[in-house]
Amino acid sequence: MPAAPRLSRRTSERTRVVRSGDACFGDGGFALIGGPCSVESRAQLTAVASAVERGGGVMLRGGAWKARTSPYDFQGLGDRAVELLVEQGRRSGLPVIVEALVERHVARLVGNVAMIQIGARNMQNVPLLQSAARSGLPILLKRGPSATLDELLLAAEYVLLEGNDRVVLCERGIRSFDSATRNVLDLGGALRLKELTDLPVIIDPSHASGRRSLVEPLTLAAAAAGLDGAIVEVHPTPEEALSDAAQAIDCATFLHMARAVSATRSALLGSPRFAIA
Ligand code: PEP
Ligand code: MN
């Protein structure tokens, strides 16, 4: 049987532009999403949202339901976190993205957020992909830590086949033999994705590296290479974060990074590297 045609395949030089509220992915800019791993309090979110806004970030992230490796670790504020995010979204004007772990979360997010994240652990959870797709909201689809690029693209097909063409792919680090970094950012893989598909491709340097010192340089590498954006974990007092403390950057670093991203893209404007961006 011949292979079915892929809805995600690259058919033109141009990247598909995915809009989500005022945020835009794939328009030639570098979209920065920032926010805490887990929503912890109103004060935490207010501080982070104002940094994201001042830095020109396009979207506020925040974890509500956290699927932690250990059941003894903080599991997120759940529905209360969604309320706090909606409030901050209104106050700051930033569109909000939250990860859904099960279909009930999708229902809770519809009408409240601008984009749904499907996390690395759920990349091949087909019923969840389909229900998120049917919400009509744009989907940020993260690559599983052991998934091939083709498996990621086939997971995206499940969303596209539901008639939802607003999909952004995210490389968030893959497993390797070396524990020096939490995962390994597959920058080459992310760039190869841009050759295979016209969907926008962003990176998550926070979960890829697990170390705050590497978040800004990896983001700059992605910006210089012509990828479409990054989603980064930001916390007002990173060492006190209730989840993923080691990889959170503080608000000042976010602002510095955002300026450095702009400078990098301006310096490279007109480079052939951006022909497919
Ligand atoms: C997250 O972004 O909060 C998260 C859990 O990421 P991942 O699914 O990539 O592990
Ligand atoms: Mn996290």
Query: Atom 6 in ligand 1: which residue has the minimum CA distance?
Result: 119
CA of 256 to the centre of ligand 2 (A): 21
Taking the centre of ligand 1 as the mean of its atom positions, its distance from the CA of residue 119, in whole angstroms, is 5
Tell me the ligand closest to 142's alpha carbon: 1
Confidence at 2, pLDDT banded by 50, 70, 90:
confident
Q: What pLDDT is recorded for position 277?
A: 45
What is the total residue count of the chain? 277
1 has pLDDT over 90: no
| Any ligand 1 atom below 6 A from CB of 172 | yes
> Is pLDDT of 275 > 60?
no
Report which of 205, 261, 199 is spatially closest to residue 233, judged by C-alpha positions: 205
Rounded to an integer, the average pLDDT of 185-213 is 98
Measured in angstroms, how far is the CA atom of residue 204 from the centroid of ligand 1?
A: 9
Integer Cα distance of 139 and 117 in angstroms: 6
- Tell me: pLDDT of 156 over 80: yes
Q: Is the pLDDT of residue 100 over 90?
A: yes
From 102-111, 208-217, 228-237, 262-271, the region with the lowest mean pLDDT: 262-271
Residues 31-52 have pLDDT tens digits of: 999 999 999 999 999 999 999 9
Q: Measured from the CB, is residue 170 less than 6 Å from ligand 1?
A: no
pLDDT over 70, % of the chain: 97
Q: From the CB of 186, is ligand 1 less than 6 Å away? A: no
Shortest-distance ligand to the CA of residue 233 = 2
- Confidence at residue 22, expressed as pLDDT on a 0 to 100 scale: 92
Q: What would the two tokens of residue 46 be?
A: 């207010």
Q: Mean pLDDT for the chain?
A: 96
* Closest residue by CA, ligand 1 atom 3: 37
* More confident site: 223 or 272: 223
Token digits of residue 223:
């910006």
pTM as predicted: 0.97
Taking residues 17-44, report their average pLDDT. 97
CA trace torsion 201, 231, 246, 253 (10° rounding): 120
Ligand 1 center to residue 159 CA distance, Å?
19
The dihedral built from the CA positions of residue 5, 8, 14 and 20, taken in this order, carries a sign that is positive
Task: Please state the rounded mean pLDDT for residues 259-273.
Answer: 87
Please give the distance, rounded to the nearest whole angstrom, from the Cα atom of residue 77 to the centre of ligand 2. Answer: 14
Ligand showing the shortest atom-to-Cα distance for residue 120? 1
Q: Which atom of ligand 1 is nearest to the CA of 122?
A: 8
Average pLDDT over residues 164-176: 98
d(Cα 85, Cα 112) in Å, to the nearest integer? Answer: 9
Amino acid at 189: G
Task: Examine the pLDDT at 3 and tell me if it is beyond 90.
Answer: no
**pLDDT tens, residue by residue, 125-137:** 999 999 999 999 9
